[in-house]
Amino acid sequence: MFWPVISSEPLALNWHIEYLCNELQYHMERVFKRQTKECDLVINISPSTSKSSICSILLQPWCWTRMPGLRKIGCSYVEDLAFELTVKSRRIVQSPLYRRLFPEIEIRSDLNNKSLWSNTLGGDRYAIGMGGSVTGKHGHLIVLDDPLNPKMGRSEAAINTAREFCTETLPNRTVDKEVTFQLLVMQRISVDDPTALWLGKPGVKHICLPGELTDDVKPVELREKYVDGLFDPKRLSRNALDSHLAEMGQYGYAGQILQTPVPPSGGMFKVDKLEEMYAYPGDECFTRVCRFWDKAGSANAGDWTVGVKMGLHKDGTYWILDVVRGQWATDTREKIIQETAARDGKRVRIGFEQEPGSSGIDSAKESIRRLSGYLVEAFRATGSKEVRADTFSVQVNAGNVKVLKGKWLSDYKYELTHFPNAKHDDQVDASSGAFSMLINKKVKLGVLR
């Protein structure tokens, strides 16, 4: 009835909406009766499935119709999102329809702002961003709605902040530890995200609803609700899922859609999708060509220095044209990079990873100086190796990458096959860097990124 109050879009019904509403009602009925809770609840579900509307916007106005004095704490990854959710919830309570049906619920004029608003019967709602202060606030209901966003999943600091907030702050914010119901609803982000933390505690029920049918659906009886292997054929059709995969990459898709923070197959690259080519088609067939170097500095031991040459064909496919690989001392390595640049020609852009710290900056500047006259860029790496390889792996697995046969091909395919569990990953790193250069159209002469 109240959906039009919070959204101008028509309500797209799916079986999970009634299921989640019934589940939440069951647990809240125990709160209303001051009964000891059976468990806390973790819900893992894809984005754009009305999870926040159900759990963070509509739930409290409904609770007040049964328990006007209910106090809620709502938390999200940033304060602005927590405020947006609480404002929409307040909009329901202040709507003409709600006022007509439940006239006894009135918002206090002296305590009515984005972070905290209350009714005249003792109920209130407090909104907070992850890691914020909740001193003096207590709840009958505590809801964590997306305590991390996808980018935060790449930050160890953000993950640690979320975990500390869940273990050191929230447990002390209950009105009654035996009764207060705590709910975590989120898409999976990382193997160390708050879901992993909560599921390691006793007394937690797990509802896991992947975007497509997998063995991770929980409770298991919900598997029969999937239609043609799809969780929600309207919101998450097969075409929509394919689009999500292309945009998110395998790791993003595995976490945010499949609700498992690592790809289900283990390895990232389906090497059998690489198409082997026996002849170079000619320079005129490529719109851009680059060679990216992943540099190491040890001779005959340790990591490898690798330079992957990659081209973007006019038909939209990506070609691995050459791989130079060796374990060289620093001087030998720089000489080989120069010789390779001369052999490739000045049409080929050159990139390499800049190591962190002042020594990394100095080394990058020296490499750029040595390659004077070539289009060369140094890139600061961000995110894990898996994250950086993700977008390239999507193209490989879609059959959009071709490889020119050479003596290096066997070692190259072996490393991709076993990544991220292989002993060495230098060829993957260099390929990820080359791919990033190709999809970034900016070309600058001697620049640090």
- Contact between 354 and 429 (Cβ < 8 Å): no
Residue 448: pLDDT band by 50, 70, 90 thresholds? very low
Task: Verify that 217 and 288 share a domain, yes or no.
Answer: no
pLDDT at 422: 65
Q: Find the mean pLDDT for residues 392-406.
A: 93
More confident residue, 368 or 262: 368
**Residue 410 belongs to a domain with what CATH number?**
3.30.420.240
Q: How much is the mean pLDDT over the chain?
A: 89
Task: Verify that 315 and 393 share a domain, yes or no.
Answer: yes
Give domain status of residue 192, yes or no.
Answer: yes
pLDDT at 174: 92
Domain carrying residue 311: 271-448
Give domain status of residue 264, yes or no.
Answer: no
Give domain status of residue 351, yes or no.
Answer: yes
Give domain status of residue 399, yes or no.
Answer: yes
Number of domains into which the chain is organized: 2
pLDDT tens for each residue of 194-220 = 998 898 888 999 999 999 999 899 999
More confident residue, 136 or 90: 90
pTM above 0.85, yes or no: no
Task: Verify that 250 and 280 share a domain, yes or no.
Answer: no
Give domain status of residue 261, yes or no.
Answer: no
Give domain status of residue 305, yes or no.
Answer: yes
Task: Verify that 286 and 221 share a domain, yes or no.
Answer: no
Choosing from 217, 232, 256, the residue where a domain stops is 256
Give domain status of residue 266, yes or no.
Answer: no
**Residue 192 belongs to a domain with what CATH number?**
3.40.50
pLDDT at 224: 96
CA distance 193 to 156: 10
Task: Verify that 227 and 169 share a domain, yes or no.
Answer: yes
Task: Verify that 204 and 300 share a domain, yes or no.
Answer: no
User: Would you tell me the crossing angle of helices 59-66 and 15-32 to the nearest 10 degrees?
Assistant: 40
Burial class (CB in 10 A: 0-12, 13-18, 19+), 315: exposed
Give domain status of residue 441, yes or no.
Answer: yes
Task: Verify that 241 and 100 share a domain, yes or no.
Answer: yes
Task: Verify that 247 and 346 share a domain, yes or no.
Answer: no
Task: Verify that 115 and 157 share a domain, yes or no.
Answer: yes
pLDDT tens for each residue of 217-229 = 999 999 999 999 9
